[in-house]
Amino acid sequence: MSTATTPQTEPPSASKPKLSARDRNVLDSAFSLDSRALAVVRILLAGLILFEAFFLEWNRPRDPQGPIEFLNQYGDVIVIPFALMLLVGWKTRIAVVLCWLAYSLRIRSDLFTADINVDVGDYILTLALFWSMFLPVGRHLSLDSRHTDQKPVRFLSVASVALLFQIFIIYFSAGLTKDVGEWVIDATAMETILANPTYETPLGLALLDYPALLAVMSVGTIVLELVGSIMVIVPGKSLATRRLVVVPMFIALHVGIAAFMGIGLFPYVCIAVWLVFLPPVFWDRVWGFFTKRPSTTVPLTDKSKWRNSVAGVAVLIAAVSNIITWVWFPNVEGVAEQWQTMATFLCLYQQWAMFSVPSSLA
């Protein structure tokens, strides 16, 4: 009698690896972005672009020598209609792309010009626009969503992880590269910065009469940059609580910078981007207060292969640029130099040694 044979099945190891429910929850809680936060950040960034175009850059001297120079020097004017599209959320994804293209013209020109200092606020804004191209920034508070009931989501993708890590690396690097002697031991860094003519403001000069307070601010700044940036990025059950505590501290830091230092849009851009770290429980309260109805989120993972792939390549470029900065800076040559040139062209160049040696600014 013949015996029936059962069909051979692939061994478990041949199947695609799947994330466990626990792993998915960790990724969702640590690296997803609330779609309501993205909508608010979109509006704030668009408003900052328009404010800079009309009030800070409109009357600056321009002398274009050819079409490329024209695009570089008038990038802040070209971006105005695209920023308006972004503000009201009309064709939002296209608007973000066009804003990044137009706004990056001047940034790229400054990056390639050795004798021009790049405005760090403008550069962080450009990076925020870049990662926003892959995120649902028009899901709420936009003309695109006016005919649909877009429920809030916790959006998880390569770009959501990239944006969070981008903010983390800016502040962690800034804290790690600061001179411990001036910021902690002598604690004279804030005094040196506020006395620098480049950043001089009436309120900042008045604060120079309180050296003890400035010493506390010096130490507090470096501690917040190092410890605070780690607290908002490391996963754990207390992550939402940590973010609710630390994010207002960073916002307060930048409110102080805006009040006591003349440093352009930098503090306002940073305040805007820090909002993406606020957990859904915060936005549930805010949304419920304004809409007068319960508001909760559901998880949503980006299934677009092209968006995740392009964002993944950008993450690789930015990550390697960071590594090169740490290992070879300031002497970069050969393949490293070519890589940094590519990162600069894409406005993904990473170098965040901000105020690392304050005395050199005087």
pLDDT number for residue 358:
44
| 2 band by pLDDT with thresholds 50, 70 and 90 | very low
Across 12-26, 68-82, 192-206, 323-337, which has the greatest mean pLDDT? 192-206
67-76, 149-158, 171-180, 259-268: which range is least confident on average?
67-76
More confident residue, 13 or 124: 124
- For residue 91, count CB atoms less than 10 angstroms from its CB and return exposed for 0-12, middle for 13-18, buried for 19 or more: middle
pLDDT number for residue 209:
93
SS3 91: coil
The DSSP code sequence of 75-90 is HHHHHHHHHHHHHHTS
Q: CA 194, 271, 284: angle at the middle one, nearest 5?
A: 150
Q: Which residue has the tokens 């090169």?
A: 324
Q: CA 282, 287, 293: angle at the middle one, nearest 5?
A: 125
Summarize pLDDT for 244-302 with one digit per residue, the tens: 999 999 999 999 999 999 888 999 999 999 999 999 999 999 988 887 777 788 999 99
Percent of the chain scoring above 70 in pLDDT: 85
**Average model confidence (pLDDT) for the chain?**
86
pTM reported for the whole predicted model: 0.89
- For residue 316, count CB atoms less than 10 angstroms from its CB and return exposed for 0-12, middle for 13-18, buried for 19 or more: exposed
CA distances for 19 relative to 27, 28, 33, 249, 298, angstroms: 10, 12, 19, 34, 18
pLDDT number for residue 360:
36
More confident residue, 168 or 193: 168
User: Is the model's pLDDT at 361 over the cut of 50?
Assistant: no
First to last CA, the chain: 96
76 token code pair: 């802040």
pLDDT number for residue 291:
78
Gap between the Cα atoms of 293 and 142, Å rounded = 19
User: Is the model's pLDDT at 166 over the cut of 50?
Assistant: yes
pLDDT number for residue 285:
92
320 token code pair: 């390697």
CA atoms within 13 A on the CB side of 223: 10
pLDDT number for residue 58:
65
Summarize pLDDT for 105-140 with one digit per residue, the tens: 878 777 766 545 678 899 999 999 999 999 999 999
Mean pLDDT for 168-194 is 91
Query: What does DSSP assign to residue 4?
Result: P
User: Is the model's pLDDT at 47 over the cut of 60?
Assistant: yes
Mean pLDDT for 31-37 is 97
Q: Which residue has the tokens 């960071």?
A: 322
84-93, 175-184, 204-213: which range is least confident on average?
175-184
Do residues 187 and 341 make contact, with C-beta atoms less than 8 angstroms apart? no
User: Is the model's pLDDT at 54 over the cut of 50?
Assistant: yes
For residue 317, the surrounding DSSP H or E stretch is helix 305-328
Gap between the Cα atoms of 75 and 98, Å rounded = 11
Percent of the chain scoring above 90 in pLDDT: 59
Query: What does DSSP assign to residue 298?
Result: E
Do residues 36 and 140 make contact, with C-beta atoms less than 8 angstroms apart? yes
Summarize pLDDT for 292-340 with one digit per residue, the tens: 777 788 999 999 999 999 999 999 999 999 999 887 766 777 888 899 8
User: Is the model's pLDDT at 26 over the cut of 80?
Assistant: yes
Across 6-10, 11-15, 163-167, 343-347, which has the greatest mean pLDDT? 163-167
Mean pLDDT for 72-98 is 90
pLDDT number for residue 138:
95
Gap between the Cα atoms of 102 and 9, Å rounded = 55
